[in-house]
Structure formats: C-alpha cells, structure tokens
Amino acid sequence: MFDRVLIANRGEIALRILRACRGLGLQTVVVYSEADRDADYVRQADMALCIGRAEPADSYMNQSALLLAAKASRSQAIHPGYGFLSENADFAERVTAAGLVFIGPDVACLRTMGDKIAAKHAMRDAGMPCVPGFDNALPADAAELDAIAAGIGYPVIIKAAGGGGGRGMRVVHGGAELAAAIELTREEARRAFNNATVYIEKYLSHPRHVEIQVLCDRHGSALWLGSRDCSLQRRHQKVIEEAPAPGIDPGLIAAIGRRCAEACRQIGYCGVGTFEFLYQDQAFFFIEMNTRLQVEHPVTEMITGIDIVQQQIRVARGEKLSFTQADIRSRGHAVECRINAENPLTFMPTPGRLTHWQPPGGMGVRVDTHVGVGYRVSPYYDSMIAKLITFGASRDDALARMRQALSETRVEGIDSTVALHRQILSEPGFCAGGVDIHHLERWLETRPASPEPVEPHRRSYGDSGITAIGELDGAGAAQSAGADAAR
C-alpha cells in the first residue's frame, strides 16, 4: 500500500498521472528539470523537487536523482509515465530494492518484453500468432543464414533484439544483400542498445499497426480493453490514433483480445500493457509488447469509460480489479491527434514561447495538455504539446468533431502540426479508414503544398479588422445582424 506517489516524468503525462492520483486521494510529488521549473503542473503537485539540468540524462533519466527525490519526499511509489525510464528493468529493480513500488509490471516481465526474441518466445508459448521467422539469435555461418532466409522467403526483415519501436531494423529483398544487412544491423544494434543480437522475420509489405490494451491485477485477473489503430505514423512517430481499429471483424478482434488476456495470465503480467500487432490480409501477427502506459491511452478510455491510469495505480497498490471482462463494453469511436511544436511541412521542432493558445471544447472533445499562453516549449524534450481527442457514436461522428475541434484550435508563437491534422482530416484515404502503415508517408510525398488550408469557420476580410464567423453570404450576414439588433 502507498499513499504518496512520485511522478518521474514531465509534460502532459505528468499532469495526467497527477490527476489520476488526485482522483484516488493520493498525495503527489512532482520532480522537474531546470527547463520545467515554471510549468503549471509543477505548482499543482503537493510537493515539487528539482532533480537537475534540462538534459534528460541529468534529470528525468537520472536514476539516482529520482531515488534520492523519492527518499527525500517520503514517496512510497514511483510512476514512470512513458518514455524515459518507464520500461527500464534495472531502474524498476532499484526502485523495488529501495522498498518502493514501481508502478508497472514486475522486473521479470520488463526484462522478457525488453528482449524482443524472448518476448516472441513467451508469446508463441502462449499461443499468440507471431510473424513467421526464425525466433532465435542468428548463427554466424553464411550458408546457414542463407538457408534460414530462403526458408522464410524474401523479403525478410532483420531486427535488433534490444530494439523496438522501429529502431534497429533493415529490410532485405534478396540473398545477395543478406550478409551485409545482418552485419550492418548488428553493428548499429551494438552501438545503440549495447546488444548485437539480431533476429529475422518475414517482411510484411502493407500491414496496419493494431494494438490491444490490457489491464491486469495481482490476483489473476487479466482484461483486454479493446483495440487501437496507430497506422498513421511518420518515421515511427504516431500522428493520429483511434479506437477501435476500424473495419476489422469484431469477432476477430475479440479472439485476439482474449488471447492477449490469456497470455498475461500465463506470464503473470501485472499492470497496464499493450500488445502490438501487424494486421494484414485479415490476420494478426504479434510483434512486441509495450510494458508501459502509452501516449494514446485516452482513445481507449473514451470508448470503454475506464480511467486507465487510475486502474493502473489501483492494481499497483495491490487492489483487485472491481470489474470483469463482461462489464467492459466498447461504445462509439475515439480519435486522437498529437499536436506537436513542429513545422507542419518539414516536421522540424520549433521550440519557443506560446503567445496565443485557444484549445477547442464542446461535447465529445478532450484536450490532454500541460501548456497554456506563455508556455515555453523546450528544445530538450519531445515536441508534443497537446493531445486532441474526440469521441462520437460512430467513426464519422468522431472525425466530424475532430474537424470542428481543429478549426477552433489556435496555436501562435510557435509552429504546430494543427495545420497538418486539418489536411489529414480532409484526405479521402484516411477518412475512409483502415489505411496501412505507409499511407501517411506516401500521402506526404504528393499532398498539396498549401501549409494552411482555409479554416472552415473563420474568415478575415482584408485589413478591415472585421471577422465574419460562419459561411454567411451578404443576405445571411444582414439577416444575422438584424437578428442580433432585435435581441
């Protein structure tokens, strides 16, 4: 049991965790770097401690500083959020050894899922469909390698066992490239992850990225909370996510969801987690498991009505889940647009000060953000400044609300990806649903050059200073003015 939680993260997720703790009546301790000293959420915590300089290695990644802050604040648990140390088994081990609760799965599960070969083995043992491949470290002998790749059938993909999330992979189209590709991937993996182990899989050419959210307690209950589609991405950075994954037979999703819950029971998984699949030709293939809370968790919250972060903290406290699989119903559709402080054409981060900030609102609109007017976007961290989430009875309803929400949103002083999202929400392929992981990058190659499409609900009339709201023609405007005068 614990009643004081140290939040070992920053930005919108620190605020999201703070809110969950408040909702549970828990005390909050926020740690911050020198760059985040003035952030508003820091002031909202019961206690705040500076843990170092802006560079992540000196603060949010500094394990000793975090443990010292936990001790100084008499915290009894640490929530790692996402990124930073959230999936670091050595950190979780140190947290546990210090007598604190790591809000996440056990160290053993973190280690298994951190090693992508071990993860695939564990999942195959649990009856999970995996991408066909050779799920072991590759042999050194060239003839053996050729035989393995030929057996799988080209194209194949070489992946680093210590990688994940798109880092350390290489596609190979024929035997002539194989040996060199393996050697290159090994070298990169050695440098990036301090682990040269690589493995090989059949390369799927046009999959979708579909994931299943799970929630498990320490008493043997493991539940799945529906699907998400995260196929709309650029360079392995997700841009828009939605729940549920559109256009897939609900029976097929339920079957894979039940498999995920069963796999959790089998490996003794506790906490929240996400099973990542490639979905192609009506079939699911497991690729990896994320052992943390994810950026896109709100879309699942919207369709299930479950506060995933509160539940994550409850199960970490040792509580039993108070509901069963039969209680979980997916209702409606949710979409999330990640608003980044980036140039919408070049994707270059644009740190700086927010001089104007108008978040959208209304029915079915949720904004998860830590920023406001005057906020300084730091160059040291991820450029995401807000998540815009809309919910509707159907996918079309959720998309219509998102268009409206995007048209209301104002970000000034820095560049943002709002304009990009407005364009994507009017792109027929995305609007139809079910695009593959290459769709966005393909579309970016050919999209119209206009960085800021006309905003549908606001028009400025030259420099007269008059702004007409809506699509009013002359007569309509006069009528509307008359109606105003009559009031």
Least CB distance to ligand MV4 at residue 288 (A): 5
Nearest CA-CA partner of 205 in 182, 231, 171, 175: 171
Measured distance CA(142)–CA(396) in Å, rounded: 52
Tally helices (H) and strands (E) across the chain: 16, 23
- Whose Cβ is closer to ligand MV4: residue 310's or residue 340's? 340
- Whose Cβ is closer to ligand MV4: residue 94's or residue 208's? 208
- Whose Cβ is closer to ligand MV4: residue 32's or residue 285's? 285
Measured distance CA(373)–CA(405) in Å, rounded: 18
Least CB distance to ligand MV4 at residue 208 (A): 8
- Active-site annotation holder among 10, 228, 259, 292: 292
Measured distance CA(302)–CA(78) in Å, rounded: 26
- Whose Cβ is closer to ligand MV4: residue 166's or residue 372's? 166
* Interacting residues with ligand MV4 (CB under 6 A): 131, 157, 164-166, 201-204, 207, 209, 233, 236, 276, 278, 287-288, 437
Q: What phi and psi values does residue 263 have, to the nearest 5 degrees? A: -60, -40
Least CB distance to ligand MV4 at residue 118 (A): 16
Measured distance CA(324)–CA(217) in Å, rounded: 11
**Tokens 């819950």, residue?**
261
Q: What phi and psi values does residue 154 have, to the nearest 5 degrees? A: -75, 155
Least CB distance to ligand MV4 at residue 287 (A): 5
**Residue 300: CA atoms inside 13 Å, Cβ hemisphere, count?**
27
Helix axes 308-316, 11-23, angle to 10 degrees: 70
**Tokens 């104002």, residue?**
410
Measured distance CA(283)–CA(267) in Å, rounded: 24
Least CB distance to ligand MV4 at residue 61 (A): 22
- Amino acid in the structure at residue 109: C
Least CB distance to ligand MV4 at residue 164 (A): 6
Least CB distance to ligand MV4 at residue 133 (A): 7
DSSP secondary structure letter of residue 119: H
**Contacting residues for 106 by C-beta, under 8 A, at least 6 apart:** 92, 268, 270
Cβ(333)–Cβ(391) below 8 Å: yes
Measured distance CA(33)–CA(88) in Å, rounded: 20
Judge whether 10 counts as a catalytic residue: no
Measured distance CA(214)–CA(226) in Å, rounded: 8
Cβ(103)–Cβ(130) below 8 Å: no
Least CB distance to ligand MV4 at residue 204 (A): 4
- Whose Cβ is closer to ligand MV4: residue 201's or residue 415's? 201
Measured distance CA(408)–CA(245) in Å, rounded: 26
> What are 356's strand-pairing partners?
412
- Whose Cβ is closer to ligand MV4: residue 36's or residue 276's? 276
- Whose Cβ is closer to ligand MV4: residue 62's or residue 274's? 274
Measured distance CA(90)–CA(85) in Å, rounded: 9
Could you tell me the CA-to-CA distances from 317 to 91, 470, 480 in Å, in that order?
A: 19, 51, 58
- Whose Cβ is closer to ligand MV4: residue 96's or residue 237's? 237
Q: Which residues are catalytic?
A: 292
